[in-house]
Amino acid sequence: MTHHRIELDWMGQKIITLRDLWPPNLRAVIVGINPAPRSVEIGHYYQGNMGQALFRRLRNLGILDQQADGFEDDQALRIGIGFTDVAKRPTSNAAEVKPEELAFGRSILEAELAARQVPLVIFAFKKAAETMLGKFHGNGFISTSALGNASAFVMPGPYESAATANATLKDLQDYWGH
């Protein structure tokens, strides 16, 4: 497969989006708010600037290889990391996602995470985490029972101080190495 684009029905409307990626050796799933048009165009998750920052962080933690052939989502799949979004409709900005889309996607995603018994949910953005878990302070590992037995980790935001972000990311690195 050269890309992960799919056409599906989203709340009664046909859209082109990214398919959920569930590896057979599931160790974690990265959950975003919704796909960016650039990512859908290319057919791979996190192809914009913010998404590439996520992959840089995962490479710096040693979770993904520094040098790899192909796209990062394909590399992540091979090591047991899946990808999905709360809402499926691509938008240029997460603020364009309607509250009813987040509520609709949340119910679907909760069921999917439970059915797959996902051990670790990594939220790429705090808005995705708050959609699933409700409001909370901070980032990193969040104590919650909302995801069943899954651990929940929220990536630090792009404007988080380097010291705080590095300490938070070290927790993910330590978890991943266990």
- The per-residue pLDDT for 178 is 57
Angle at 148 between CA 160 and CA 153, to 5 degrees: 15
Q: Count CB-CB contacts under 10 A for residue 41.
A: 14
Q: Count CB-CB contacts under 10 A for residue 73.
A: 23
Domain count across the chain? 1
Phi first, then psi, for residue 5 (nearest 5°) are -70, 150
Token match 């959609």: residue?
A: 131
Chain segment 71-99, per-residue pLDDT in tens? 999 999 999 999 999 999 999 998 999 99
Statement: residue 67 has pLDDT above 90: no
CA dist 103 and 13 (Å) reads 16
Name the pTM for this structure: 0.94
Sign of CA dihedral 47, 53, 54, 57: positive
Chain segment 17-49, per-residue pLDDT in tens? 999 999 999 999 999 999 999 999 999 999 988
Print the domain residue range for 131. 5-177
> 152 by DSSP, 3-state: which?
strand
We report the CATH number of the domain holding residue 169 as 3.40.470.10
Amino acid at site 66: Q
